Amino acid sequence: MREILNAPFLVEMMRTTANMYRLGWDERNGGNISLLLDEAELGEYLDLDHVLREIPTGFQAPALAGRCFLVTGTGKYFKNVQYDPENSLGILRLKEDGATAQLLWGFSDGGTFTSELPTHLMSHAARLEVDPRQRVVLHCHPLNLVAMTFVHDLDQRAFTRTLWQMCTECIMFFPDGVGVLPWMVCGTNEIGRATAEKMRDTRLVVWAHHGIYGVGASLDEAFGLVETAEKGAQIYMKIAHLPWKQFITDGQLRQVAARFGLTPRAGYLD
């Protein structure tokens, strides 16, 4: 059996959480990540028949029965993951009922998974139907995106168009746009269902006055999507109160899309 602390998925999770904390996206115990693992790869590091304990998930996800996930824990600080991964993270496998998690590794202090696990599972199920390669769901609190939800119209077409107009890379990396939800109580199945519904046709979902969810085929991809949207929001927050003399036009956005073979979300360009 290979040493699990050297597993690429665990090393990358430690690097990602440390970077997100450094950027100020995950203050205190804010934010959470889940990574769908390949069972064959995981079997090189763990005895998959050895279950430490079982934990009810509070949600039924039969479509994900038998799947294994690396997830952050509730009440855990991202800044500590790199120093104590076995306490801060857990590897779960969903039982056949899709409502019970078997803990295979981690949460060594007796803790449990993030309170947002139902939202993660719903989003995983929604995105896997669209693209089975997308295995990461990432949630964080980027300063400028959150600030933007206080001063910008929350209509998601308008929100997306503003980000696209801020820097060329925005339409390049999320031509499917950004989903936007009004403020809702976090940690509930209600916000999980609303997020998953948005995830059916976009990879970024903003929670007003709270944060953002991003998905991707890797931690790098999900991180990069959020990073790009946050850069657009940062530019907007620097100039929103100033008179605009120019911005990226719809015609120019179409030129970018044509150059890179992209299909902007239908109806979002005038």
| Bridge partners, 211 (sequence order) | 207
The token pair at 80 is 């500590």
Half-sphere exposure of 160 (CA within 13 A, CB side): 27
Give the torsion sign (CA, 13, 17, 20, 26): positive
Report yes or no: 59 and 192 within 8 Å, Cβ to Cβ: yes
- The three-state secondary structure class of 148 is helix
Tokens of 25: 């996206």
Pull the structure tokens for residue 203: 């990879």
Query: Edge-to-edge, what's the strand order for the sheet holding 100-106?
Result: 53-56, 100-106, 89-94, 68-72, 32-37, 136-140, 211-216, 204-207, 179-181
Q: Which two tokens stand for residue 31?
A: 């934010």
Active site annotation includes 116: yes
Residue pair 106/38 in contact (Cβ under 8 Å)? The answer is no
Q: Tell me which of 116, 221, 227, 230 is the catalytic residue.
A: 116
Closest CA to 252 of 159, 178, 166, 179: 166
Output the CA torsion 103→107→110→114 (10° steps): -90
CA dihedral over 100, 102, 107, 109, signed as positive or negative? positive
252: closest CA among 195, 167, 194, 180?
167
Residues marked as catalytic: 116
